Amino acid sequence: MGFVEEINLKTYDPDVYFTSIHAPTSSARNRIPKSLSTGSETNRPNCRVNYSLADLENRIYNQRGGSEGVADTNKTDLYNAERYSQAELLKSNKRFMELDTENFADARDVPYLMSALTGINKDRIDQAATGISGSASPAQSSSNRARNKFELPKNMQMMYRCTRPPVPKRKNTNRIVALKKTLSSRRPLSSYLDTLDHVNRSIIYNNVYNKKFTKVLPVVTVCSICGGYRSLSSCVKCMDKVCSLKCYNLHNETRCSS
């Protein structure tokens, strides 16, 4: 271990780097008079101190950390004792030690270890950990179990794609497709009227009967497919009226007689 030489504040220059390794001779002012020295120190020109800075720092850190750690531990224990019951503290400490074990198979030895550390009976630690105390009644225990019962959400099967029911297919409500299906069947109007119920049939016949004696309006020519009355043209083959190219194509597929 190297020795540390004391620095004389009177002759110390902070701008000059000095080391005792390359010093040719020691200063006369740093020498200790022989009258003040005794024993083996008479032959030493300089006063050397036998200590290590690392050891001193380590000793101070350990003393300070130990005192502060003990004080913090005492404060924490006092706070926990005032806020939580002993059963809750035992349960919390047991769970912490179970999680702190490296091997899961050693978790069953945790009550024995806690009993040896705290001096509390192992059965009492197990009762506190499982929530079963000797003073608790069976009704209270059953109510606690009912309150802590885990229930699956009702929409559990909707959370995963594999268990989610398939989305129902939408019906095709396209008016052109429905009209094309109706016209391609070539059914007369009387067949559609026969399939109606009594209420709808009465509504249709009453409307026709009421309009029978109203003022006669001039005849309006409409499209044979969609009922439109703008930009009408006639089919060359059967002379039916159509209003657009779409109606003309649909007319050729379903209604054209020739």
The alpha helices in the chain, defined as continuous H runs, are 53-83, 86-100, 110-118, 122-130, 138-147, 175-184, 189-194, 198-212, 245-250
Query: Encoding tokens for residue 112?
Result: 């024995």
Task: Please indicate, yes or no, if residue 99 is contained in any of the structural domains.
Answer: yes
Evaluate whether residue 133 is within a structural domain: no
Look at residue 233 and give its three-state secondary structure.
strand
Question: For residue 16, what pLDDT is reported?
Answer: 66
Q: Cα separation of 120 and 122, whole Å? A: 6
Q: Is 165 within the bounds of a domain?
A: no
Alpha-carbon torsion (215, 219, 220, 222), positive or negative: positive
Q: Quote the pTM value.
A: 0.24
State both tokens at 207.
Answer: 């409307």
Region for 186 from its dihedrals, namely left if φ exceeds 0, alpha if ψ lies in -120 to 50, beta otherwise: left
258 within 8 A of 238, measured Cβ to Cβ = yes
Q: Which of 72, 100, 128 is the last residue of a domain?
A: 128
- Which residue among 94, 128, 162 closes a domain? 128
Q: Which residues partner with 234 through β-bridges?
A: 241
Cα–Cα distance, 240 to 224 (Å, whole number):
6
pLDDT of res. 135? 47
Q: Tell me, what's the pLDDT at 41? A: 47
Residue listed under structure tokens 């001193």? 56
Q: What is the per-residue pLDDT for 132? A: 46
108 is a domain residue: yes
Ramachandran sector of residue 47 (left: φ over 0; alpha: ψ -120 to 50; beta: rest): beta
Per-residue b or e along 100-130, where b marks 16 or more CB atoms closer than 10 Å to that residue's CB: eeeeeeeeeebbeebbeeeeeeeebbebbbe
Q: Is residue 196 part of a domain?
A: no
> What type of residue sits at position 112?
Y
Question: What is each CA distance from 69 to 54, 73, 81, in whole angstroms?
Answer: 22, 6, 18
Q: Please say whether the beta carbons of 8 and 20 come within 8 A.
A: no
Domain that holds residue 119: 86-128
256, 235 contact by CB (below 8 A): yes
The DSSP 8-state label assigned to residue 171 in this structure reads P
The pLDDT of residue 134 = 46
Q: State the amino acid at position 215 in one-letter form.
A: K
CA 83, chain centre distance (Å): 31
- Asked whether residue 238 is domain-assigned, the answer is yes
The CA-atom distances, in angstroms, between 215 and each of 204, 209, 211 are 19, 13, 8
User: Could you list the pLDDT tens digit for every one of the 258 residues in the chain?
Assistant: 556 667 777 777 777 655 555 555 555 555 555 555 454 445 555 666 666 777 777 777 777 655 555 666 666 666 666 677 777 888 888 888 888 887 877 878 888 888 888 888 888 877 776 764 444 455 555 666 666 677 777 777 777 777 778 888 777 667 777 777 777 777 777 777 788 888 888 887 777 666 655 555 667 788 888 888 888 888 888 888 899 989 999 888 888 876
49: helix, coil or strand? strand
One-letter identity of residue 184: S
User: Is residue 97 a part of any domain in this protein?
Assistant: yes
In a domain, 161, yes or no: no
107: amino acid identity, one letter = A
95, 110, 128 — which closes off a domain? Answer: 128
What is the domain count for the chain? 2
